[in-house]
Amino acid sequence: MPRRRIDSITPPNKAYPREELEEMVERWLQANVDAERDNDWTRHLGPMYTEDAVYGWNIGPNEEFEVRSRKDICEVALGYQMKGFEDWEYPYHDIIIDERRGTVIGFWKQMAPYKRADGTPYTVAGIGGSWFEYAGNWQWKWQRDFFDFGNAKDCFFQLAGAGVLSDVVKRKIHVQAKGTMLPGHRPIREAPSKTEKVKNALAMVKIALTGR
């Protein structure tokens, strides 16, 4: 029987006092500020997940990141995954709270600590954020991040061209380029064959050239 992913879970109808969820959000936002200040996401955010919490996000059409347990969240999601991004900022700009279901959606930006020649910062365009389910006791039961994968990829290409990617991030990209998945990553389904990839690419080229 296949495991249910975060994006297939229907949040339970679990009500919490509005005031409690608002305080949880305030604690979470402050923890994020503290984590960015100290470059220590594990220490500040780790305690805010239940022991069996699930944390994940999508990485394109056939890859997911997912870890299950506070231990793995601390070691992989907040530890390994954040290596090389110590000076990045992830400011929240809007929060939606549903106290009837005990869920929260926060919208944030991904901002690199580098600027272009014209002074504008490198920022991942599009919508980014996190969807949480509250479990009481000032902890999340699960977290599902979302962001514009195409814009994130473009931002990294720009950072590479500017020569400002950290050595840690370069090594991660090198590992992925060799076909090895990073810790916590897994395929969603069997990858298409080379023949199918070529067929799909030729079909798209034909449509681009002929409109048919």
pLDDT tens digits along 126-173: 999 999 999 999 999 999 999 999 999 999 999 999 999 999 999 999
pLDDT band of residue 28 (cuts 50, 70, 90) is: very high
Q: Does the pLDDT value for residue 2 go beyond 50? A: no
Q: How far is Cα 31 from Cα 55, in angstroms, rounded to an integer?
A: 17
Just give the CATH number of 6-210.
3.10.450.50
Of the CA atoms within 13 Å of residue 167, those in its CB half-sphere come to 0
Q: Using CB atoms within 10 A of its CB, is residue 66 exposed (0-12), middle (13-18) or buried (19+)?
A: buried
DSSP 196-211: HHHHHHHHHHHHHHH-
Average pLDDT of the residues in 30-45? 96
Q: How far is Cα 96 from Cα 131, in angstroms, rounded to an integer?
A: 9
* Lowest-pLDDT range of 7-11, 111-115, 131-135: 7-11
Average pLDDT of the residues in 105-117? 95
Contact 146, 129 (CB under 8 A): yes
Sign of CA dihedral 158, 162, 167, 170: positive
pLDDT of residue 144: 97
Q: Give pTM, 2 decimals.
A: 0.85
Q: Name the percent of the chain lying above pLDDT 70.
A: 94
Contact 123, 112 (CB under 8 A): yes
pLDDT of residue 162: 95
pLDDT of residue 130: 98
